[in-house]
Each structure stands twice: as structure tokens, then as C-alpha cells.
Amino acid sequence: MTDTSMELSDFLRKAVGGGDVDFLREGVRVLSQALIELEVSEQIGAGRHERSCERTTHRNGYRERTWDTAAGAIELRIPKLREGSYMPSLIEPRRRIDRAMLSVIQEAWIHGVSTRKVDDIVTALGMTGISKSSVSRICVELDEVVSDFLSRPLMCAYPYVWLDATYLKCREGSRVGSVAAVVAIGVTTAGEREVLGLDIGSSEDGAFWTEFLRGLVTRGLTGVELVISDAHVGLKQAIPAVLSGASWQRCRVHFMRNALVHVPKGDQQMVAAAIRTIFAAPGIEEARTQLRFIADGLAKRYPKVTGLLFDAEDDVIAHMAFPREHWTKIASTNSLERVNKEIKRRTDVVGIFPNRASALRLTGCVLLEQHDEWAVGRRYIGMESMTRIGNPTSETEVVLQALLAPVK
């Protein structure tokens, strides 16, 4: 009789005999252990004590592993191999981001600041009696990974940089307040997107943004030609102070929202369509002409919108000084908004963070996962068009240059 069969028989004997045993948890443990033995035998190419020409290695004892399940904490014996390694598919390590979320929930639960929602999540995961030492171990490991990622040197130039912030609820002392998680992403000269930085502060004031941008420069941020962001006062002050020489593109999506606030709901669609004709212009000079025309046309009924248009004339069309292929991607903060949306989706599960360190941990892991996905995905902007930054030749001129070029 095999070890697995003996263990199953022993479990059934205890269940029938009415012994002092948690039937559900013990059943999960026995069946899981049986699946592990079958899986490792398949990887080795032979069962225990079995002779086979297909065998690739041998067993080398066991290591103990606690597995948290909805039925409670289960102690499993994971086989070790003489060559190679084995990890059961049942307890395959979670993605970094999921482990970060788990650590935050555990930390909140231990410190007694969790809401009923968090308590329900902890119960659903079967994590009763969580020890502070296990949570601390997870937190330290993840904090080191996030810290290394956010402090890494920036080794190349980033012509385009997007900046934005999202707000999280965090407990500080005896009160709960909002903290700003500011994020920077950039595109390299090869057209690849990267997460550049993250920080958490009390607010988006100019001093905080200035310190954040200086930190990026200290780590090696160079070659910035255009910064895309909303029109937050503190950020507008920090960009020219730290990234001198870079142009600033005011997110046209945010601008549109700001403008439509001054328009009655029934007229918003008409005014929005008129403003969009500015962005549809074929070049920067045509856009200026169209902006003034639209502003004059709206002056009588919507003077505040006219004032916004004139004040933002240089800011909302700054992207048109760059290659036309890039316009749809550098005219707004949409690419960063999608990242912030994922941050909010993950952080909403927690609700209130027990401290800033836990907020930075989870948010940093979200950004690290996004950075890794971008690294193996396709380029955000074509490499060839990136070489034309600073000399945004029109498509017609590109064709003429190709026709007139001497044949080699």
C-alpha cells in the first residue's frame, strides 16, 4: 500500500470512528497532499521506489509549508528534489501585487484598524490567527523589492514624461485622511514606456512636486522635451523650476472638463465639439488661428470659456510641436490615467491603509507589475518617429526627401 493510500485510509478510519478531527480541514489536507505526490511523481517520471527509464531525478526529503485556505491553515509536506525544484501548482506563489495586497490586509487586521469589509476578506481567505512575525516577514521582503525598483538609476533619456496623482485613504496617528500618490511615467528614445517614480505625500503642493521631480533628476532623468499633466498649481510651478527647457502640455481632457463647467448642460455637447476642432487642426499655427476663432465666437455667451481658451493657448497645443504620429498619445494624460485606475481598483479593496508604508507597498507593487508588462509588450511609440523629436518633419516632406535622396 502506498503512503497516500495509507493516509487516506487513516483519515477515513478517524472520520468513521468519530474522533476529534476537523473533517473538512483534514479532508482538504489529505487530498491536497495526495495531489502533490501525484504531481511530483509526474515531474520526476517515476513514483516512490519505482524503477523507470524515464526518471529524471530523485526525491530528497520534505519541507514543511503552511497553506492558508478557506477551510483554515493546513500543514503540507512539499517534496524536495536532488536536482531542480518543485512547487505544487496548488500553492504556486502569488503575483507580487497580490502578495502586497494580502500583506496590507493582514497588517490592517493585526493592528485593529480594519473595517468589516477587510474582516470579511480575511475570513474568506481562511487567515485566522495571523501572526505578526509572518506579516512582518512578507512586508520586509516586498518593501525591499519596491524600494529597489523606485530608487533604481534611470539610465537613458526620456523625451516624454507624464505626471499625475491619485488620492488614497490612510490612517495617520488617530485620524484618517487623504494622501496623494504621485506617479511619473516616461517614454524612452526607443519608444518604450517605463514607470519612473512614485511617492506619497500629504498634498500636491509645489514643494512636494518639486522634491519629487528633483528626486527623479538625481536618479538620472534627462532629455525631457515635453511634460504632460493637468493644471495643478503646485505642479505647474515645479515643472519649469526642475525640468528647465521642457515644454508643458496641459492635458486636453482635463482642460475640456474645466471649460464645460462654465457651460449649461444643454449646450455642453455643442461647445465641446467646437473646442475639438482646435485639436483637429493640421498644425500648430492653424490650431492657434482656430482657437482664437472659437474663443471669439463663444465670448458673448460664455466669457469664462473664452478666458480659459486664451489663457491656455500655448499649453493645450504644445504637443503639436512634436511629430504628428505622437499627438494622440502626448496630448493628454490618458496613458497614466489607466495606470491610476488600476491603482484605485487595487487600493479600493483595502479601503483605509494602516500607514503610509503599506500604501507605498501596494501602490509600488501595482506599478512594478505594470512596468514589467510594458517591458515585454510592444513599443508605445515607433522608434523611427522618436528620432524626429526636435525636427517634426511633415509627412509630405518625408515623402519628398525619400524621392529626392540619391540612389546608393
Q: How far apart are CA 72 and CA 39, in angstroms?
A: 23
Q: Is 177 exposed, middle or buried (0-12, 13-18, 19+ CB in 10 A)?
A: middle
Residue 46 has pLDDT above 50, yes or no: yes
- One DSSP character per residue, 62-105 reads EEEEEEEETTEEEEEEEEEESSS----GGGPPPPHHHHHHHHHH
Q: How far apart are CA 115 and CA 164, in angstroms?
A: 29
Distance of CA 275 to the CA centre of its chain: 32
Beta strands in 157-296 (DSSP E): 160-172, 175-187, 193-201, 226-229, 247-250
Distances (CA, A) of 50 to 41, 59, 299, 312: 10, 11, 88, 78
**What is the mean pLDDT of the segment spanning 56-81?**
80
**What letter does residue 222 receive in the DSSP assignment?**
B
Distances (CA, A) of 359 to 58, 121, 372, 397: 44, 18, 20, 50
Residue 328 has pLDDT above 90, yes or no: yes
**What is the mean pLDDT of the segment spanning 171-199?**
92
Closest CA to 155 of 242, 215, 238, 223: 223
Average pLDDT, the chain: 81
* R_g of the chain computed on alpha carbons: 29
Q: What is the pLDDT of residues 128-168, one digit of tens each?
A: 545 556 556 666 777 888 899 999 999 999 999 999 999 99
Distances (CA, A) of 14 to 33, 72, 77, 178, 184: 17, 19, 20, 54, 59
Q: How far apart are CA 290 and CA 274, in angstroms?
A: 10
Comparing 147-161, 250-264, 373-387, the range with the smallest average pLDDT is 373-387
Residue 20 has pLDDT above 60, yes or no: no
Band (pLDDT 50/70/90 cuts) for residue 402 is very low
Task: Give pLDDT, residue 312.
Answer: 92
**What is the mean pLDDT of the segment spanning 307-333?**
93
Q: How far apart are CA 187 and CA 322, in angstroms?
A: 14
Residue 363 has pLDDT above 70, yes or no: yes
**What letter does residue 223 receive in the DSSP assignment?**
-
Q: Which helix (H) or strand (E) holds 31?
A: helix 23-44
Residue 395 has pLDDT above 60, yes or no: no
More confident residue, 201 or 90: 201
Q: Highest-confidence range of 11-15, 56-60, 110-114, 255-259, by mean pLDDT?
A: 255-259
What does the longest C-alpha to C-alpha distance in the chain come to? Answer: 94
Distance of CA 16 to the CA centre of its chain: 51
Task: Give pLDDT, residue 403.
Answer: 43
Comparing 73-77, 91-95, 263-267, the range with the smallest average pLDDT is 91-95
Task: Give pLDDT, residue 166.
Answer: 92
Q: What is the pLDDT of residues 286-304, one digit of tens each?
A: 999 999 999 999 999 999 9
352-353 and 160-172 beta bridge pairing: parallel
Contact 316, 252 (CB under 8 A): yes
Closest CA to 229 of 391, 387, 212: 212
**What is the mean pLDDT of the segment spanning 118-130?**
54
Band (pLDDT 50/70/90 cuts) for residue 391 is low
Q: How far apart are CA 226 and CA 245, in angstroms?
A: 9
Q: Hey, what amino acid is at 60?
A: N
Distance of CA 376 to the CA centre of its chain: 15
Band (pLDDT 50/70/90 cuts) for residue 127 is low
Residue 367 has pLDDT above 60, yes or no: yes
**The three grid cell numbers given for residue 98, joined into one nine-digit string:** 497580490
Task: Give pLDDT, residue 27.
Answer: 73
Domain boundaries, the chain: 3-91, 96-147, 156-386
**The three grid cell numbers given for residue 195, joined into one nine-digit string:** 514607470
Band (pLDDT 50/70/90 cuts) for residue 56 is confident
More confident residue, 121 or 66: 66
Residue 102 has pLDDT above 50, yes or no: yes
Distances (CA, A) of 23 to 29, 38, 39, 51, 239: 10, 23, 24, 36, 63
Q: Percent of the chain having pLDDT more than 90?
A: 43
Q: How far apart are CA 328 and CA 331, in angstroms?
A: 6
Task: Give pLDDT, residue 263.
Answer: 93
Task: Give pLDDT, residue 43.
Answer: 84
Comparing 36-50, 209-223, 239-253, the range with the smallest average pLDDT is 36-50
**What letter does residue 1 receive in the DSSP assignment?**
-
Task: Give pLDDT, residue 41.
Answer: 86
Instruction: Please count the other Cβ atoms lying within 10 Å of the Cβ belonging to residue 272.
Output: 14
Band (pLDDT 50/70/90 cuts) for residue 408 is very low
